[in-house]
Structure 1
Amino acid sequence: MPCISFAQNTEIVNRGTIPCMDAGLIHLALGFVGCCWLYAFPNRSRLREHFALPEEPCGDFWVHLFCTSCAICQESRELKNRGADPSISWLSNVEKWSREKVTPPIVVPGMNR
């Protein structure tokens, strides 16, 4: 279900500041009126910022507008490939990285000229 995957991704991308349950309920409610993509696309932008990913070949807004479910799947896969597990909470990921002595995968890039 897209709202669940979105909620799990949101908690990780926002480093636990937005609880999974809150994100899922908002996404679900907006889905009933057909505009969940408005809430979802900024999440994709934050994910790209965390990993310094290019906004190609299409902007985040357009990807979510035309296929929110596909975008959410891509975002979840990107988090998994980078070492974050969206199916567990942000705090559980932090504990796992600490226990395994792994540097958290989310990196904020430095300034560009």
Structure 2
Amino acid sequence: MKQHPTMGIPVGEPVHAPQFAPLNQSAVVGEFSTGLCDCFSDVSLCCLTCWCPCITFGRIAEIVDKGSSSCGTSGAIYSLIMAFTGCQWIYSCTYRSKMKAQYGMPENSCGDCCTHFWCEACSLCQEYRELQHRGYDLALGWHGNMERQNQGMAVPPSMPSGMTR
């Protein structure tokens, strides 16, 4: 193998360009389908989250909890924590972890907490978009989504009761 006389690097060998991560992180299995800073891909969601994050969070929580908590209850708890402590990001971070566990996304508790602490609105928008990407209409809530899903299923005909001829 020859070397360049002044630089000492191999000459005549193929040069391989460094491999960079793809810009579209949805290509990575188990990651979010949209980026953290893709907030303006849905301007109405961005505005809602900016002015009323409790609504966005409540909708996310209802879907992640599979209807065991309501949008209103979760949103009210979020608002109270925000009003009295300013630490609502801790509460919302727990739902990010729940959602990631449900969908088999890699867990990163420290990273998730930092994401919610430094960019709460972007985090909520990303989670909302992820649930939309997975087929949920968050405005309908859990039960509305289940009804919508069941409408496509055929209902068996009812049978008359008793013996008749």
The aligned counterpart of 1:111 is none
The aligned counterpart of 1:83 is 135
Identity %: 37
What displacement does 1:28 show?
0.7
Runs (5+) with no aligned partner, structure 2: 1-51, 154-165
Aligned residues: 100
1-structure distance, mates of 2:90, 2:139: 23
What displacement does 1:11 show?
0.2
Determine which structure has the larger helix proportion and give its number. 1
Superposed, which structure 2 residues align to 1:31-70 within 5 Å? 31-32=82-83, 33-55=85-107, 59-70=111-122
SS of 1:77's partner is helix
1-structure distance, mates of 2:105, 2:136: 16
Contact 2:60 2:128 (C-alpha < 8 Å) held by counterparts: yes
Runs (5+) with no aligned partner, structure 1: 102-113
Please report the TM-score for the alignment, with normalisation by the length of structure 1: 0.82
Structure 1 residue ranges, 4+ long, deviating more than 3 angstroms after superposition: none
What displacement does 1:54 show?
2.1
1-structure distance, mates of 2:78, 2:122: 15
Contact 2:59 2:138 (C-alpha < 8 Å) held by counterparts: yes
Work out which of the residue numbers 40, 55, 58 in structure 2 matches 1:7: 58
1:95 equivalent to 2:95? Answer no
Larger relative contact order, structure 1 or 2 (CA cutoff 8 Å, min sep 6): 1
1-structure distance, mates of 2:77, 2:104: 27
2-structure distance, mates of 1:97, 1:63: 32
Letter in 1 for 2:60: N
**RMSD, aligned α-carbons:** 1.4
What displacement does 1:73 show?
0.3
1:19 equivalent to 2:75? Answer no
